[in-house]
Chains A and B, each alone.
Chain A
Amino acid sequence: MSTVVVEPQSQPLAPQPTTPWKPTRKTQFAGAFSIAVVAIAAFAIVLLTGLAGIDGFGLTFLVVFLGATFVRTKRLNPKVRKDAMVGVAICAAAVLAFFPWMSIFVSVVVKGAKGLQPNFFIENMQLTTPDDELNMGGAAHAIVGSIMMVAIAAVITLPLGILSGVYLTEIRGRLTFLVRFVVQSMSGVPSIVAGLFIYTTFVNYTNSFSGLAGSLALAVLMLPTVARTAEEVMKLVPDDLRSASYALGARQWRTSLMVILPTVRSGLTTAGILGIARVIGETAPLLLTSLSNNSYVFNPMGGPIGSLPTYVFGLLQIGTENSINRAWTGSLVLMLLVLVLFLTARYFGGKDNR
């Protein structure tokens, strides 16, 4: 056996990474071109047969695309053909699923922007009827009412939810299974049932509709969300942390308050924010507890109080052009509030891990 060592003459350029499995520019262009062709064909068919609207076009497009895919894969393995057809179907399902939500996002912004004038945030509806022009009246009372009721609900729910979370993860007493089971089951309670519950108890007892009643109904809906999220973030705290604290001789209350809770501070904030986002748009429970109002009410026990959801709901039922426009604007403000809460929760949600 001979052994030869061959020295390379000169170092060639270092090889560049390539991805030969990805579609080339040419195939990408061909793909885009064929989609355009299918779209034109679908459009032509729509014009000829009179299938109207965006849904008609969408359906025609899908059928033509499926047909084209079927023909294109004629020569290939049946499994590849099936894969291609199913791929089209799955994309279609995804488009169909997302379309309503995108439509909602777009229409809320487009239709609600019209009424987004300064008076919307400053005035209330005491002196204007819903059918008046958009530069009169506003939803300030509704915004104030919503914020007040949600704040009270949060003040009630957050401590209770966090305590439940602490109980389930730190103390784990005999009630653990029961508490967890009840919290889990109650997260599905219909919102109107929560309103009905508060109506038959609190409203009846105090003989009046009020903001506080509304807050209590919202609290009933918020509590399971906060408790579950709190338990989940506290479960994430590694046991090593607890062990280290106990090994240093710390008592349980110190461990929980000074070691565990600060660690999950962001997670608990997220729990609270998620709870708030859940109830801020709830209409049904408020219809039974706080009703609605056209002017400012600052006293939680001062009778019916306005809120963004009931404001929008009332306007919807009137149904004139201006009132519907107001409803869109109210919805826009509601969505913006939800978006802000959502993004804040995202921000806090990642902080614990940094």
Chain B
Amino acid sequence: MSVVPSVEATPEPRELSVIYNRADRIFRRIVTSGALTSLILLGLIGTFLFVRSAQIFNDRGLRFITGSNWTAGSGDGVILDDFSIGPMLTGTILVSVIALIIAMPLAIGGALYIEFYAASRLRKLLSTLLDLAAAIPSLIFGLWGVVLFTSFGERWSILLNSRFGWVPFIKVQAEVFGRSPFVAGCVLASLITPIITSVSREVFSRTPRDLIDTCYALGSTRWGAIKTVVLPFGRSGVIGGAMLGLGRALGETVAVYLLLNIVFRYNFRILESEGGNIASLIALKFGEATEYELKALVAAGFVLFLLTLVVNMFAATIVEKSTRRK
């Protein structure tokens, strides 16, 4: 009697199901509600802001963003409400971009110094100082800026104006220096440098050691190794850090409020003492706002919220990508 082996196809995987007992179900329910609450709380912010400001967008449409007045109506129809955030929006971006341009070389240089040039004890000290600097409240940057930095800012502005005053965005109409986007940008730069330096340093430290060793084995200098291996490797992480810093600068309230005169006029002259950003606008006008004006402020806040949301999401994806590569 011969046994014919039956040819079976590979069996399908069995479906497994998990049934939790009562205690586990309660546990899972509690944990899920907690996570859900966080989700709802944070997710509601955008919705609420939008709902509260919908009327403004309805009434004014795109003019809200492009117009350049902020006038509270007198209530009796003589002066009409006219709220637009144009100059504040450009002011927000202008000050933040100035801050980023100043901060980037300092942050990259600082990160390279800590990681590749400093002796090990100095490196530990500097990292601690860096973390501490990242924790300084922006209010204190504002205080320092107003009391101690303004005189330096003024001096440099005068110097810049006298040498480069012919460049369109550097010349000024009023020779009053000291509360300009440039000065605010400088203080903002030192505010955002810690976070960019930290992220950059983190990514530089993950450069594969044997790539750096290979550079040295080929007779390279320290800078040669950095230029050939470290910087290309860390590029996306540094950009992610820059985006994080930009996001922080865009939303900064107190430091800009203290250092920049809020003037409702489009201003791209960085040494001119006028400007403003959306966050400080809200802080300024909030106290005496009418009902309608309040809605306009909320609408402004919503625009700011969207702006920082986009920048931060972009930053998060880049930083995630660069850390996952290891």
- Chains A and B directly touch (beta carbon < 8 Å): yes
Which positions in A face B, CB cutoff 8 Å?
52-53, 55, 79-80, 82-83, 86-87, 89-94, 96-98, 100-105, 107-108, 159-164, 166-168, 170-171, 173, 175, 178-179, 182-194, 196-197, 199-201, 220, 223-224, 227, 251-253, 256-257, 277-278, 280-284, 287-288, 309, 312-313, 316, 324, 327-328, 331, 334-335, 338-339, 342
8 Å CB contact of B45 from A82, A108, A178, A186 = A186
Complex contact A175–B190 (CB within 8 A): no
B213: min CB distance to chain A, Å: 16
Residue contact B247 to A188, C-beta cutoff 8 Å: yes
Sample of 17 further A-B pairs with CB below 8 A, known A160-B37, A284-B254, A331-B140: A55-B152, A89-B109, A96-B109, A98-B129, A102-B129, A104-B136, A197-B48, A220-B41, A251-B21, A256-B27, A288-B283, A288-B286, A309-B139, A316-B146, A331-B143, A335-B136, A338-B132
> Which chain B positions have C-beta within 8 A of A93?
105-106, 108-110, 112-113
Footprint of A on B, CB under 8 Å?
20-21, 23-24, 26-28, 30-39, 41-43, 45, 48-49, 52, 105-110, 112-114, 117, 126, 129, 131-133, 135-144, 146-149, 152, 155-156, 190, 193-194, 197, 220-224, 244, 247-248, 250-254, 258, 279, 282-283, 286, 297-298, 301, 304-305, 308-309, 311-313, 315-316
A283 vs B139: C-alpha distance when bound (angstroms): 7
Chain B residues lying within 8 Å of A193, measured Cβ to Cβ, are: 45, 49, 251, 301, 304-305, 308
- Min C-beta distance of A324 to chain B, whole Å: 6
Residues of A within 8 A of B279 (CB): 190, 192, 284
- Residues of A near B282 (CB, < 8 A) are 192, 196, 288
Partner of A287, one of B38, B248, B250, B283: B283
Given contacts A93-B108, A327-B143, contact A164 B35 (CB under 8 A): yes
CA gap between A328 and B19 in the complex, in Å: 60
Q: Which of chain B's residues have a CB closer than 8 A to the CB of A168?
A: 35
Expressed in whole angstroms, the Cα–Cα distance for A191 and B139 within the complex equals: 12
Specify which of A94, A175, A281 is in contact with B109 (CB 8 Å cutoff). A94
What's the minimum C-beta distance from B243 to chain A, rounded to whole angstroms? 9
B110 near A98: Cβ-Cβ < 8 Å: yes
Q: Is the CB of B39 within 8 A of A179?
A: yes
Which residues on A sit within 8 Å (CB–CB) of B250? 190
Q: What are 5 A-B contacts defined by CB distance under 8 Å?
A: A97-B107, A163-B37, A171-B31, A179-B38, A183-B38
CA distance A170 to B148 in the complex (A): 50
Closest beta carbon of chain B to A136's beta carbon, Å: 21
A194 and B224 contacting across the interface, CB-CB below 8 Å: no
Distance, CA A188 to CA B45, complexed state (A): 13
What is the minimal beta-carbon distance from A124 to any residue of chain B, in angstroms?
A: 20
Question: How far does the alpha carbon of A227 sit from the alpha carbon of B313 in the complex, in Å?
Answer: 17
Contacts of A191 in B (CB 8 A): 251, 253
Residue in A97, A166, A188, A253 whose beta carbon sits within 8 Å of that of B311 in the complex: A188
> Who on chain B is nearest to A280 by CB?
B137
Contacts of B41 in A (CB 8 A): 160, 220, 223
Q: Which residues of B are found within 8 Å of A53, using beta-carbon distances?
A: 152, 155
B193 and A86 within 8 A (CB): no
CB distance from B186 to the nearest CB of A (A): 9
Which residues from chain B contact A166 at a C-beta distance below 8 Å? 31, 34
Chain A contacts for B126, CB-based, 8 A: 94, 98
The reply to whether A164 and B34 contact each other, CB–CB distance below 8 Å, is yes
Known: A83-B221, A224-B42, A324-B147. A52 touches B155 (CB 8 A): yes
Chain B residues with CB below 8 A from A186, complex form: 42, 45
Q: How far is the CA of A170 from the CA of B112 in the complex (A)?
A: 38
CB distance from B85 to the nearest CB of A (A): 14
Given contacts A97-B193, A164-B38, A183-B38, contact A170 B132 (CB under 8 A): no
Among A93, A105, A159, the most chain B Cβ lie within 10 Å of the Cβ of: A93
- What CA separation (Å) do A328 and B193 show in the bound complex? 23
A192-B282, A197-B45 as given contacts; A342 in contact with B313, CB under 8 Å: no
Whose C-beta in chain A lies nearest to the C-beta of B258? A316
Cα of A251 to Cα of B24 in the assembled complex, Å:
7
Q: How far is the CA of A342 from the CA of B34 in the complex (A)?
A: 27
A184 contacts which chain B residues (CB < 8 A)?
A: 312-313, 316
Q: How far is the CB of A172 from chain B (nearest CB, A)?
A: 11
